[in-house]
């Protein structure tokens, strides 16, 4: 490991604080996290703190460029390998240089032992040197239960998203954790015309295309499920600000707008609710999100509506 003069526990604490107060409060003991600092100039590891990785006999990359190679040997749940490989390959190539904060969730499995780990990156400036800090943290119990429910659930055969029962279980778990989350119900406008005009094969392809587009813009924490023929429910973990939710809802409307042969246009109506202000149980929140979606549809579609604005 390369050396950096003058790094102190106070410096480490300042870096930890940059990741946010919620993360800072979860640092109960050293085996709960590992924090690695890499010098931007040459990609060398100049400091690390915490023992989460070492207690699991996982190597810490000595250089940023080694991330893809080293983490390729970690016992990551196969279902999450694709996203993990993409994240660490991007990290190895220095592709996160301009990114403020990036997140990845991985499940480490070795025999009966399982551990959900969140990986975050952030750019810092410490003692005059530009660093990329990479934080590995053991996820809290509530989130672990949520993810176990999700990945142990059934999925929709056509789109690969969660099915209705699974998304409702996930919604119930999220509404019981006492934190603020945002929920969106997306309905494709005039989708029946697609089936009537082009047939069900084209309709199925439209649904798959819509899901693939949305997935590219969701974080690893976010959850999506198909709850009807052309309806999708999205759970946005830890999104508590209306301005952020508005940007996401507007983006969903824009990215799911499709023009098909003959000039037929497919758009979306999006309903938005937030917990716990719009409901404190799954059934109530789902109902309120649905009401907001119907309001957006009544406006002509291709738009979004918050439940707060109609109640």
Every domain of the chain and the residues it spans: 9-138, 143-309
The CATH code of the domain at 143-309 is 3.30.70.270
Check residues 98 and 231 and name the one with the higher pLDDT: 231
Asked if residue 290 has pLDDT above 60, the reply is yes
Average pLDDT over residues 193-219: 91
- From the list 201, 260, 268, the residue with the least C-alpha distance to 230 is 268
Q: What percent of the chain has pLDDT over 90?
A: 34
DSSP letter for 157, please. Answer: T
The mean pLDDT value of the chain amounts to 84
Specify the pLDDT at position 22.
45
Distances (CA, A) of 158 to 2, 96, 201, 207, 223: 50, 33, 11, 8, 17
Most confident of 113-127, 149-163, 188-202: 188-202
Asked if residue 218 has pLDDT above 50, the reply is yes
Q: Are strands 33-39 and 45-49 parallel, antiparallel or unpaired?
A: antiparallel
Specify the pLDDT at position 97.
45
Q: What percent of the chain has pLDDT over 70?
A: 87
Asked if residue 26 has pLDDT above 60, the reply is no
- The H or E element that residue 126 is part of is strand 113-126
Distances (CA, A) of 33 to 49, 75, 99, 211, 286: 8, 17, 22, 34, 35
Q: What are the beta bridge partners of residue 250?
A: none
At residue 100 the predicted structure's pLDDT band, cuts being 50, 70 and 90, is very low
- From the list 130, 63, 137, the residue with the least C-alpha distance to 98 is 130
Average pLDDT over residues 91-101: 56
Average pLDDT over residues 232-251: 92
Secondary structure (3-state) at 275: strand
Q: What are the beta bridge partners of residue 49?
A: 35
Average pLDDT over residues 244-263: 92
Check residues 109 and 249 and name the one with the higher pLDDT: 249
**CATH for 9-138, options being 3.30.450.20, 3.20.20.70, 3.40.50.1980, 3.90.1150.10:** 3.30.450.20
CB contact at 8 A, 166 and 174? no
Expressed in angstroms, the distance from the first to the final Cα of the chain is 58
Distances (CA, A) of 226 to 15, 164, 176, 233, 294: 40, 6, 22, 6, 17
CATH fold match for the domains 9-138 and 143-309 = no
């Amino acid at each position: 490991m390369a050396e950096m003069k003058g790094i102190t526990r106070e410096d480490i604490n300042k870096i930890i604080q940059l990741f946010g107060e919620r993360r800072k409060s979860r640092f109960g003991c050293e085996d709960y996290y590992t924090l690695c600092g890499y010098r931007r100039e040459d990609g060398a590891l100049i400091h690390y703190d915490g023992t989460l990785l070492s207690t699991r006999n996982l190597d810490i990359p000595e250089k940023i460029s080694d991330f893809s190679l080293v983490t390729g040997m970690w016992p990551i749940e196969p279902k999450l390998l694709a996203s993990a490989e993409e994240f660490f390959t991007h990290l190895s190539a220095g592709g996160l240089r301009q990114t403020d904060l990036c997140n990845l969730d991985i499940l480490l499995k070795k025999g009966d032992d399982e551990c959900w780990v969140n990986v975050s990156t952030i750019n810092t400036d410490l003692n005059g040197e530009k660093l990329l800090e990479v934080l590995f943290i053991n996820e809290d119990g509530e989130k672990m239960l949520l993810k176990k429910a999700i990945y142990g659930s059934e999925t929709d055969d056509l789109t690969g998203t969660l099915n209705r029962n699974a998304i409702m279980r996930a919604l119930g778990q999220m509404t019981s954790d006492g934190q603020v989350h945002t929920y969106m119900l997306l309905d494709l406008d005039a989708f029946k015309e697609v089936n009537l005009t082009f047939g069900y094969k084209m309709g199925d392809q439209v649904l798959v295309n819509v899901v693939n587009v949305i997935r590219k813009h969701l974080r690893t924490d976010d959850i999506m499920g198909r709850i009807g023929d052309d309806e999708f429910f999205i759970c946005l973990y830890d999104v508590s600000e209306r301005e952020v939710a508005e940007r996401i809802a507007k983006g969903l409307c824009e990215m799911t707008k499709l023009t098909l042969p003959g000039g037929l246009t497919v758009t979306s109506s999006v309903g938005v609710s937030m917990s716990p202000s719009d409901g404190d149980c799954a059934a109530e929140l789902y109902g309120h999100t649905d009401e907001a979606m119907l309001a957006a549809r009544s406006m002509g579609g291709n738009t979004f509506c918050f439940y707060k604005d109609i109640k």
